[in-house]
């Protein structure tokens, strides 16, 4: 029966997705994850929230006060549905800015479903994905960038990604965009003032100052655009690939780093047939490992596919862990191996970490390695778990070195696109300015830049853009 109800609900929700976000319906949704749990939270938002809850919720306190929890029983006619705690947040002092009710109920699927049906019977409708946050945006509780930070916060899996989402949610990022916009508006208004006085040839805007202002804006934007690379990798994990000849201990090392038996460890050269990916968290930074089949030439078909992929992954990875076997290492072979590896690199500007493995077999770093590589090579034993922390700290240091202030880290590709477009407009304004082209034309470029920056925080957006953004949220958020 519950199964049937759920299917009907899904059907209803699919149909209901036709509804757009622009209305004042009272909406409801289960805000906790799908499935059963100890408790679940069902949210209700809109002008009819109080009226709806009053018809089904029996409790001792007659009136519900702002920001209070109220224990009582939910009824469907004469039937008890559940004993629940109802929290009430009065408009405008709620997440959405509307009257919000949150029902904490027992978390069985049946109860959740039953309560949802009840609320809908009493006049609410199923919320669309992200519709609660959309309302928060519509009522000026959050700007668009902050709303998107809510989605990032929910999915953030490392301390760093969490920190960035929190800072964006708190509005630090939006305020950088607002500052840039207000600088542009200043320039624009001076230009327009000059246009008004066109005939009289008045110059309100000092050319040098204007140029300086445009340069500053351009460089600020460039900094933010550059931070996207970092911001994005913080969110999804910085890619690391392990390479090296067969049997040097790549799989053993990977297993150790991942702390679980994901890759196949074998004595037979070239048995790591597939490319395996996994993510580890080192001090709040995510690293996405890609295991590889090695760089050696082989006629084995499966292995060949592996090598092609390896080369592809080398070029995708930001950090390369190049493992060698200290016991069998030989200076000229290693030099040509490094050369061969470098030949595969499209972008030479990558972090390359050389790891000498199996130190347990040679007891000491060979002399020639000491003289050729010095401290550049980390010496470990994957099998005996020796010095693995040195790899972790190299990885962590790499991110810290690249670190720039959180304030301007861009993690969202929509923002990145808008910034790139804004910068193009600014650059076009700079060129026009240098060529002494009329203020009227420069104003067009500045307006374009303002538009693109405004789209980040939602000051200028179309219905479609909003629906795309909020449509990606989960239901109940
Ligand atoms: P891959 O082909 O590079 O992935 O190498 P594997 O991880 O499969 O390891 C090949 C062999 O070397 C296995 O027998 C491992 O147990 C062994 N091995 C890996 N690391 C070490 C190490 O640090 N010391 C010793 N003595 N053996 C190791």
Pocket of ligand 1 contains residue 249 by CB under 6 Å: yes
Assess whether the C-beta atom of 265 lies below 6 angstroms from ligand 1: yes
Radius of gyration of the chain (CA): 29
Architecture of the domain made up of 149-232+412-458: Up-down Bundle (1.20)
- Ligand 1 pocket, residue 293 CB under 6 Å: no
Atom of ligand 1 nearest to the CA of 252: 7
Q: What is the pLDDT of residue 17?
A: 45
In order of 164, 208, 217, 417, the CA distances from 412 in angstroms are 11, 34, 20, 9
pLDDT, residue 128, reads 92
Cα–Cα distance between 343 and 327 in angstroms, integer? 25
* β-sheet bridge partners, residue 68: 88
129-167 pLDDT, tens per residue? 999 999 999 999 999 999 999 988 887 777 777 888 888
Beta-ladder partners of 54 = none
Domain boundaries, the chain: 2-140, 149-232+412-458, 237-401
Give the DSSP letter of residue 347: S
From residue 472, alpha-carbon distances to 150, 161, 467 in Å are 12, 18, 8
Q: How far is the CA of 264 from the centre of ligand 1 (A)?
A: 11
CB 250, CB 292: distance < 8 Å: yes
- Mind listing the pLDDT tens digit for each residue in 11-21? 334 334 446 78
Among 253, 265, 306, the mutation site with the greatest number of ligand 1 atoms within 8 A of its Cβ is 265
Q: Which of 323, 317, 380 minimizes the C-alpha distance to 344? A: 317
Q: How close are the terminal C-alpha atoms of the chain, in Å?
A: 27
- Counting ligand 1 atoms within 8 A of each CB, the residue from 382, 384, 385 with the most, and so the one to mutate, is 382
Environment class of residue 106 by beta-carbon count within 10 Å: exposed (0-12), middle (13-18) or buried (19+)?
Answer: middle
C-alpha dihedral sign at 27, 28, 32, 33? negative
**Nearest residue by C-alpha to atom 24 in ligand 1:** 358
Rounded (5°) CA angle 86-89-91: 145
Contact present, 407 and 172 (Cβ < 8 Å): yes
Whether ligand 1 lies within 6 angstroms of the CB of 251 is answered as yes
Q: How far is the CA of 247 from the centre of ligand 1 (A)?
A: 6
The alpha carbon of 325 and the centre of ligand 1 are apart by a number of angstroms equal to: 9
Spell out the per-residue pLDDT of the chain, length 477, in tens.
Answer: 334 333 334 433 433 444 678 889 999 999 998 888 899 999 999 999 999 999 999 998 889 999 999 999 999 999 999 999 999 999 999 999 999 999 999 999 999 999 999 999 999 999 999 999 999 999 999 999 999 999 888 877 777 778 888 888 888 888 989 999 999 998 888 887 777 766 566 666 677 888 899 999 999 999 888 888 777 777 778 889 888 888 888 888 887 887 644 444 444 444 443 444 567 888 777 888 875 444 333 334 444 445 666 677 778 888 999 999 998 888 888 888 787 777 777 776 688 899 999 999 987 777 888 778 877 889 999 999 999 989 988 888 887 776 655 556 788 888 999 999 999 999 999 999 899 888 888 899 999 999 999 999 998 877 777 888 888 787 778
Euclidean distance between CA atoms 130 and 148, whole angstroms: 10
Strand partners, 37: 107
Positive/negative CA dihedral, 431, 435, 436, 439? negative
Q: What share of the chain is helix, strand, coil (3-state, %, to 5)?
A: 50, 15, 30
Say what the pLDDT of residue 10 is: 40
Q: Residue 308: what pLDDT?
A: 67
Structure confidence at residue 205 (pLDDT): 62
Alpha carbons 388 and 381: distance in angstroms, whole number: 8
- Whether the ω angle into residue 92 lies within 30 degrees of 0, i.e. cis, is yes
Using CA atoms, how far residue 184 sits from 178, 323, 334, 450, 454, in Å, is: 10, 52, 56, 7, 11
| CA angle centred on 475, ends 473 and 477, rounded to 5° | 70
Separation between Cα atoms, residue 391 and residue 309, nearest integer Å: 24
How far is the centre of ligand 1, averaged over its atoms, from the C-alpha of 353 (Å)?
18
Question: Six-digit token pair at 89?
Answer: 């947040």
351 Cα to the center of ligand 1, angstroms: 24
Q: For ligand 1, is residue 255 a contact (CB within 6 Å)?
A: no
Among the listed residues 474, 469, 419, the one whose alpha carbon sits nearest the alpha carbon of residue 448: 419
- Provide the token pair at 278: 């996994």
Q: The tokens 């699927």 sit on which residue?
A: 109
* Alpha-carbon separation of residue 176 from 278, 283, 452 (angstroms): 35, 28, 14
Is the Cβ–Cβ distance between 411 and 228 less than 8 Å? yes
Task: Give the SS3 label for residue 452.
Answer: helix
Other Cβ atoms within 10 Å of 108 Cβ, number? 16
Instruction: Please tell me if the CB atom of residue 322 comes closer than 6 angstroms to any atom of ligand 1.
Output: no
CA of 286 to the centre of ligand 1 (A): 25
| Cα(142)–Cα(361) distance, integer angstroms | 60
d(CA 408, CA 230) in angstroms, rounded, equals: 11
CATH topology of domain 2-140: Gyrase A; domain 2 (3.30.1360)
Nearest CA to ligand 1 atom 25: 358
Q: Quickly name the fold that domain 237-401 has.
A: Rossmann fold (3.40.50)
* DSSP classification of residue 269: T
Question: Strand 351-357 and strand 319-325: pairing?
Answer: parallel
Structure tokens at 144: 């668009």
């Amino acid at each position: 029966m519950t199964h049937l109800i759920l299917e009907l609900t899904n059907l209803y929700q699919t149909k209901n997705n036709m509804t757009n976000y622009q209305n004042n319906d009272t909406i409801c949704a289960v805000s906790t994850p799908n499935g059963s749990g100890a408790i679940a939270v069902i949210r209700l938002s809109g002008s009819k929230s109080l009226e709806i809850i009053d018809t089904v919720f029996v409790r001792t306190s007659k009136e519900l006060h702002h920001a209070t929890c109220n224990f009582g029983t939910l009824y469907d006619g004469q039937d008890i549905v559940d004993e629940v705690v109802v929290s009430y947040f009065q408009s405008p002092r709620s997440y959405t800015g509307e009257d919000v009710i949150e029902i904490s109920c027992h978390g069985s699927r049946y109860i959740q479903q039953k309560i949802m049906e009840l609320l809908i019977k009493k006049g609410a409708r199923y919320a669309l994905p992200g519709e609660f946050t959309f309302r928060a945006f519509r009522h000026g509780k959050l700007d668009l960038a902050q709303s998107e930070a809510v989605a990032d916060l929910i999915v953030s899996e490392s301390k760093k990604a969490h920190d960035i989402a929190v800072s964006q949610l708190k509005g630090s990022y939006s305020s950088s965009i607002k500052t840039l916009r207000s600088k542009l508006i200043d320039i624009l208004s001076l230009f327009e003032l000059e246009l008004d006085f066109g005939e009289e040839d008045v110059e309100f805007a000092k050319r040098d100052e204007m140029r300086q202002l445009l340069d500053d804006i351009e460089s600020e934007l460039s900094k933010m655009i550059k931070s996207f690379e970092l911001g994005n990798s913080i969110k999804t994990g910085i890619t690391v690939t392990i390479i090296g000849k067969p049997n040097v201990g790549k799989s053993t090392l990977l297993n150790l780093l991942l702390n679980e038996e994901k890759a196949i460890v074998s004595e037979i050269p070239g048995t790591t047939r597939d490319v395996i990916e996994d993510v580890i968290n080192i001090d709040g930074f995510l690293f996405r490992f890609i295991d590889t089949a090695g760089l050696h030439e082989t006629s084995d078909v499966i292995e060949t596919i592996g090598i092609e992929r390896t080369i592809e992954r080398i070029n995708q990875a930001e950090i390369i862990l190049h493992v060698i076997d200290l016991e069998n290492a030989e200076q000229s072979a290693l030099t040509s191996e490094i050369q061969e590896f470098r030949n595969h690199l499209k972008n030479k500007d990558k972090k390359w970490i050389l790891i000498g493995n199996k130190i347990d077999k040679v007891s000491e770093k060979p002399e020639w390695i000491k003289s050729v590589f010095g401290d550049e090579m980390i010496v470990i034993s994957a099998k005996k778990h020796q010095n693995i922390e040195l790899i972790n700290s190299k990885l962590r240091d790499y991110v810290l070195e690249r670190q720039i202030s959180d304030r301007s880290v861009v993690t969202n590709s929509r923002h990145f696109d808008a910034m790139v477009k804004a910068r193009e407009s600014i650059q076009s304004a700079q060129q026009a300015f240098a060529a002494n082209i009329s203020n009227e034309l420069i104003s067009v470029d500045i307006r374009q830049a303002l538009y693109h920056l405004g789209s980040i925080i939602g000051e200028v957006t179309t219905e479609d853009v909003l629906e795309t953004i909020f449509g990606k949220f989960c239901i109940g958020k």
